[in-house]
Amino acid sequence: MISKWQKSIENNRMFRHSYTRTSVSLKSPEIYSNIQIIDTSITRLRLGFTKLPGSFGYHFKIYPTKLCDSCLVPVTAEHWILDCQKWVPERDKLQLALAGAGLRFNMSSVLRPPVAKQGGVYSALALYIVGCGAVGHV
Range(s) of the domain holding residue 104: 27-131
pLDDT at 98 (0 to 100): 95
pLDDT at 94 (0 to 100): 96
pLDDT at 136 (0 to 100): 77
Count of structural domains within the chain: 1
The reply to whether 19 falls in a domain is: no
The reply to whether 6 falls in a domain is: no
The reply to whether 119 falls in a domain is: yes
The reply to whether 13 falls in a domain is: no
Q: Which residues of 74-97 are buried (b: 16+ CB within 10 A; e: fewer)?
A: ebbbbbbbeebebbeebbeebbeb
pTM of the model: 0.72
The reply to whether 126 falls in a domain is: yes
Torsion of CA 21, 27, 28, 29, to 10 degrees: -110
Query: How would DSSP label each residue in 76-122?
Result: -HHIIIII-GGGHHHHHHHHHHHHHTT--SSHHHHHS--GGGHHHHH
pLDDT at 57 (0 to 100): 45
The reply to whether 5 falls in a domain is: no
Stretches in the chain below the pLDDT threshold 70: 1-3, 5-29, 53-65
pLDDT at 63 (0 to 100): 59
CB-CB neighbours of 41 under 10 Å:
24
The reply to whether 9 falls in a domain is: no
Distance of CA 115 to the CA centre of its chain: 15
Label residue 128 exposed, middle or buried (CB < 10 Å: 0-12, 13-18, 19+).
buried
